[in-house]
Structure 1
């Protein structure tokens, strides 16, 4: 029996986390890839920008509704094979999207892409939680997030660049090829990985897992919080390119860089979480994070130049993951035996927020204007941070082996 020391945590994490991070990277490439090119999709397929933003909403909605099924399947049948298969589905959906000749066909491929992407990230978080104990989990999850943030960063920035050179179809074609190659590489890399908690293989165990999750007082708080996060923060992203167009900045590359700023902030979080957490504590991280997000929503509301909006999105990304990382750790401790299910439900509510978010922002922008809509979102984030800091408590799951 040995005791871990806090300082070298990150260096003693299992090597298999590098493979998990790679899977997260591959899946995350598609999450924001279409945001910078939405104005061109709208023009090419003869729809308005609000309709084109539905591509982001349907991706998030499909990602969300598949989560209970994905989590249950992972806990029953195994996580790694399901993750690899979902990567292959995501790659195929992207290639089919590049060949779409109408908006309804493209819309259908984004549904398929949401299914594929939905099977990767929550399982990656669950595998991470299986590989490390609670004392190192937030740092380990930070490494998994680093893969996802790098994917978001390249997905958004490279999308704008490829969109300027090859159009939106080139974006989807390149994405599809990369994700299929990644699925093959990840399949090889997962061989031999050992997990602390192998999946249970009975429906009665799954039912018990759901009961364990929802009798934990932290569950409704965690799941409500990530829904609001998804709505107030990620719901904004489909409109950033059009905000820049309104300012006269019509380059897709610039829109991609601005959106990628959020991922840069997320990457900065993954590099600093082991330093921030001991100083701020979990409550301080949640409050400080949501205040940072709110301040940047206010700044974006007043339409600064794109260089300043890039900075705003970077700070917003840092603040968002300061709060969101804490919620992920709480979600990972709702159950031990049904951890994949708990984290998939976490993703379900998060992406349901991202589904409602673009619709809510569209309504707000049409009826209240840009400033009022973003100020309302900022106020919601501050209230959220305070509420989570007051209500969430460290609790051992009832199915923990002591």
Structure 2
């Protein structure tokens, strides 16, 4: 089951990043600016973030595996719709629907692991899922660029539709055979109530520690993820690379994430969470500055690699805080964390989109570098050795 869930997670992350190298091609086909074309990324991110608040309770009520299968099948349908979209407006709507469906795959996969895997093996299992998601991100960025240049951007989304359909079919077959589709019955559990859910969410937001972590991750999403979407455009316009080459450079970002996952335990032991936050923010800042001002493409590629390592250093530190900021309501807290991350990303995409059409990407990348470095320092000062947040 884990391998099939990992396949669905791979497809989900690939779909999130597949449009990054397409922005220039979309702007040319639909006669719009590159900034306007970024709406396909922002729409996906907004829907992905908001729907996090829905899938948690839904998975608890009807079963996580059922929701994962349904979300994967919906992604197949909406990916096919994006590949066939006759207008840019319909393309954006289809991408938003795809983001809404994809939001139910990775978070519920993590929750399923929490339910089914013993604590002693859970970290290793989550690391295997992380490899699938990071590999999906790399594959989406590379194949999006390759397909745009050789087959047409619609082909990339069509291939994703086939992969999603395959994953959903295999998951459904395996779940039926293993009995994983049995109704979830929790003795004594109260029926879901929207009023109770909203009341619980508001109660969480009254906790200073929760508000601080959510604010920080939203800023991180805007500064790190918001700029990431425009790295391929920077490689094309600033260094003259083709769409496929720009997508290939973005693979280095994912390679950085994989390297972090391999050495995370050693680096955490050597640096602690505070050190990881500062070093991670520093790497992201160096990466953004290299992408903004490097005189040669080789330095920009190195910057992309460093930004990948740095992001996972910084973000995983925040993820630990998210799991501990409200232990009595961990599921809701983590979904809020994911929601704010992607809402921050969509905000960042919209802000950077305003600058890309005016040739302001280097100054904006510079401002983001400064902002992420300051954010890393603030996180380092608030994170305590035991993994809590000071001042809670």
TM-score range, shorter chain: 0.7 to 0.9
Preserved CA contact (<8 Å) 2:75 2:161: yes
Preserved CA contact (<8 Å) 1:164 1:251: yes
Preserved CA contact (<8 Å) 2:277 2:317: yes
Name 1:27's counterpart in structure 2: 12
> Which of the residues 327, 334, 345 maps onto 1:354?
345
Name 2:302's counterpart in structure 1: 311
Q: What TM-score results when the alignment is normalised by the length of structure 1?
A: 0.85
Name 1:9's counterpart in structure 2: none
- 1:189-237 deviation line (CA, Å, top 9, x unaligned): 554679xx98755336746753674455432222122211211111113
Preserved CA contact (<8 Å) 2:8 2:164: no
> Which of the residues 260, 278, 295 maps onto 2:286?
295
Give the Cα separation in 1 of the matches to 2:140 and 2:291.
22
> How far did residue 28 of structure 1 move?
0.8
> How far did residue 395 of structure 1 move?
7.1
Name 1:92's counterpart in structure 2: 77
Name 1:141's counterpart in structure 2: 126
Over the aligned positions, Cα root-mean-square deviation in angstroms equals 2.8
Does 1:51 pair with 2:36? yes
SS of 1:202 mapped into structure 2 = coil
SS of 1:325 mapped into structure 2 = helix
Give the Cα separation in 2 of the matches to 1:272 and 1:318.
11
Name 2:61's counterpart in structure 1: 76
Distance 1:293 1:198, change over 3 A: farther
Larger deviation, residues 327-336 vs 288-297: 327-336
> Which of the residues 149, 160, 163 maps onto 1:178?
163
Q: How many matched pairs?
A: 380
**Equivalent residues in 2 for 1:3-402, closer than 5 Å:** 17-131=2-116, 139-189=124-174, 191=178, 202-203=191-192, 206=197, 210=201, 213-214=204-205, 216-247=207-238, 249-335=240-326, 338-365=329-356, 369-393=360-384, 394=386
> How far did residue 325 of structure 1 move?
1.2
Distance 1:97 1:381, change over 3 A: same
- 1:348-375 deviation line (CA, Å, top 9, x unaligned): 1010011001122233456793332122
Give the Cα separation in 1 of the matches to 2:337 and 2:59.
15
Distance 1:247 1:165, change over 3 A: same
Name 1:6's counterpart in structure 2: none
Give the Cα separation in 2 of the matches to 1:346 and 1:134.
22
- 1:312-333 deviation line (CA, Å, top 9, x unaligned): 1121111101111122222223
Q: What TM-score results when the alignment is normalised by the length of structure 2?
A: 0.87
Give the Cα separation in 2 of the matches to 1:136 and 1:280.
24
Preserved CA contact (<8 Å) 2:40 2:95: yes
